[in-house]
Amino acid sequence: MERKSIKLVICKDKNAVAVSSAQIFADEIRRKPAIVLGLATGGTPIGMYRELIRLHKEEGLDFSRVVSFNLDEYLGLAPEHRQSYRYFMDSNLFNYINIDKSNTYILDGLSKDPKGVCRKFEEDIKKAGGIDLQLLGIGRNGHIAFNEPGCSLDSRTGVVNLTQKTIKDNSRFFKDESEVPRQALSMGIATILEVKKIVLLTTGEGKAKAVAESVNGPVTSKVPASYLQHHSDCTFVIDKEAAQNL
Ligand code: F6R
């Protein structure tokens, strides 16, 4: 596979990251109102979602024909669990915009047939015509979605084990570390590389090493985000702190 360069937008702070990434999403939604979005959870996209809600309320940004697919979901958490990614999406974005919730696809973490759910998710993406614009975050260990170090380039949506580092990082959202699920359902690397356009957001010096390795390092399973060098339209929108090792 050919190696391409990841584009960089370096912003002065996390607020500027939120505004400039929301602008990219808003422009694409206006250009293609029935756009298929790939969405992410975590701490980083909250500011961008807040800005999209503002654009909806104040400038009439219309989500009525938008379709969305979320990157991942914890295995074993019900949609109404406060730490589930369905709950996150509803409470940070979907409840405040005019998206049709039946067009928002999030993997079912409670299903008795997780593999079947993952297969159907891939089919649903295909039926929707593929993902036009994918939002990503990045873990300190370079993970994208829940594709942890060691994952393969040809992985598809499936059940994955979380690393100790990710469990520890994500425990800030739970009462304590023992409550963090050990497994998740996640889009695979190959699934992500099939999208038309990728925007990865990150902020803070804790991500600087992962950012530098992903952008300038070799393409390696040790840093899953380095696989993004294989994509022809991938932009990292980051703040100065996350850019300090570039
Ligand atoms: C979330 C996801 C994860 C996060 C990553 C960064 O859907 O797929 O890969 O993007 O763990 O999380 P934050 O933004 O909390 O640092």
Segments forming the whole domain that contains residue 188: 13-204
Identify the CATH number of the domain in which residue 31 sits. 3.40.50.1360
HEC per residue, the chain? CCCCCCEEEEECCHHHHHHHHHHHHHHHHHHCCCCEEEECCCCCCHHHHHHHHHHHHHHCCCCCCCEEEECEEECCCCCCCCCCHHHHHHHHCHHHCCCCHHHEECCCCCCCCHHHHHHHHHHHHHHCCCCCEEEECCCCCCCECCECCCCCCCCCCEEEECCHHHHHHHHHHCCCHHHCCCEEEECCHHHHHCCCEEEEEECCHHHHHHHHHHHHCCCCCCCHHHHHHHCCCEEEEEECCCCCCC
The answer to whether 21 touches 48, Cβ cutoff 8 Å, is yes
70 in catalytic set = no
Please give the distance, rounded to the nearest whole angstrom, from the Cα atom of residue 103 to the centre of ligand 1.
Answer: 22
148 in catalytic set = yes
Please give the distance, rounded to the nearest whole angstrom, from the Cα atom of residue 239 to the centre of ligand 1.
Answer: 16
**Is 234 domain-assigned?**
no
pLDDT in tens, the chain (246 residues): 777 799 999 999 999 999 999 999 999 999 999 999 999 999 999 999 999 999 999 999 999 999 999 999 999 999 999 999 999 999 999 999 999 999 999 999 999 999 999 999 999 999 999 999 999 999 999 999 999 999 999 999 999 999 999 999 999 999 999 999 999 999 999 999 999 999 999 999 999 999 999 999 999 999 999 999 999 999 999 999 999 999
Q: Residues with Cβ < 8 Å from 168, sequence gap 6 or more?
A: 177
**Is 107 domain-assigned?**
yes
**Is 7 domain-assigned?**
no
Alpha-carbon gap, residue 119 to 116, rounded angstroms? 5
Q: State whether the beta carbon of 235 lies less than 6 angstroms from ligand 1.
A: no
**Is 33 domain-assigned?**
yes
**Is 233 domain-assigned?**
no
Q: State whether the beta carbon of 143 lies less than 6 angstroms from ligand 1.
A: yes
**Is 244 domain-assigned?**
no
The answer to whether 69 touches 39, Cβ cutoff 8 Å, is yes
**Is 112 domain-assigned?**
yes
Provide the whole-model pTM: 0.97
The number of domains in the chain is 1
Please give the distance, rounded to the nearest whole angstrom, from the Cα atom of residue 72 to the centre of ligand 1.
Answer: 10
Q: Please tell me which residue in 51, 56, 70, 141 is annotated as part of the active site.
A: 141
Q: Tell me how far the alpha carbon of residue 69 is from its chain's centroid.
A: 10
**Is 188 domain-assigned?**
yes
